[in-house]
Amino acid sequence: MAFGSARQDEIGKIGAGEIIGTPGLVSSYTTFEEGLKGGLFAKYVSGGVELMDGSATPVIAGVVKRELTGAIEDAGLYTAENNVYADVIEGTTLVTVTVRSGLTISKFDAVYAYNAAGADAGKATNVATDAVAVDGYFYEEIDTGVWSVRLK
């Protein structure tokens, strides 16, 4: 099996929903909305986590951690059939996120969670329109459409 090589001081190209370095706070929720996907922001509602959907005053729970054991045909989504809980990365770490396309992002830009229903719901953005502020900043582009962000 061949592996790509990378310098030890660089972050390798990994997908969204991963912790980089020392883990911060990760919470597991037994109450979760089906369809959560790693690398997207989720909101906290009544003891569980749900997709961002344009709610007026959502409370950001954190970034959904990538589901490692789900069925391939579920495209990495958390489902009641395959999951007992959903993991959410809450802070004090670098984490990879999926970013809305078409943005010009720079290191240390403020992070927002896109909060409109649709394909971009829960993606990271540096634009405040239709979004909720997250306590953190963009750190480094990992791959096309994936950035590491520093959650505080």
Distance CA 57, CA 43 (A): 10
pLDDT value at residue 65: 92
Instruction: Give which of 77, 80, 79, 60 is closest to 136, Cα–Cα.
Output: 60
- Residue entry with tokens 């502020």: 133
Domains in the chain: boundaries: 19-151
Give the pLDDT band of residue 2 (cuts 50, 70, 90).
Answer: very low
Q: Label residues 30-43 b or e (16+ Cβ within 10 Å = b).
A: eebbeebbbbbbbb
How many Å apart are CA 20 and CA 12, to the nearest integer?
Answer: 10
Encode pLDDT of 60-118 as tens digits. 999 999 887 665 666 778 888 888 999 999 887 889 999 999 999 999 999 999 999 89
Number of Cβ atoms within 10 Å of the Cβ of 23: 12
Residue 18 has a pLDDT of 77
CA distances from 87 to 9, 46, 131 (A): 28, 16, 22
SS3 72: helix
Structure confidence by residue, pLDDT tens digits, 26-51: 999 999 999 999 999 999 999 999 99
pLDDT for the residue 1: 37
